[in-house]
Structure 1
Amino acid sequence: MITVLDELCVGCGHCVPFCSVDALSVFGRAVVDPDLCIGCEVCIEYCPNTALRWVDT
């Protein structure tokens, strides 16, 4: 599952358009919808602040 490190996310939204399943949105900070996220990790590559991480659940 992808998670957002709130202390690093500035809410720029740069990651949002790279999510092919629309699992990302921004409400002050990036938010990942775990029901939609397929774990492709593309958003991680495009986050300029390295605020997105993969965590095993």
Structure 2
Amino acid sequence: MILIDKERCVGCGHCVPFCPVEALSVWGVVKVDHGLCIGCLTCTEYCPNKALRWDEG
């Protein structure tokens, strides 16, 4: 599952348009709809602040 580091996320939304299943949205910080997320990790590559990361849990 994708986790958001709320201390690093500035809510810029740069990662949002790169999600192929539209699982990301911005509400102050980025939110992930884990029901939609396919774990492709594309968002982690495009976050300029490295605020998104994969967690096996």
* TM value normalised by structure 2: 0.98
Q: How far is 1:48 from its partner?
A: 0.1
Per-residue Cα deviation, 1:17-56 (whole angstroms, up to 9, x for no partner): 0000000000000000100000000000000000000001
Aligned length in residues: 57
Cα RMSD after superposing both structures: 0.4
> Per the alignment, in what secondary structure is the counterpart of residue 31 of structure 1?
strand
TM-score by length of 1: 0.98
Runs of 5+ unmatched residues, structure 2 = none
Structure 1: gaps (5+ residues): none
> 2:25 — aligned with what?
25
**2:18 corresponds to which letter in structure 1?**
F
One-letter identity of the residue aligned with 1:39? G
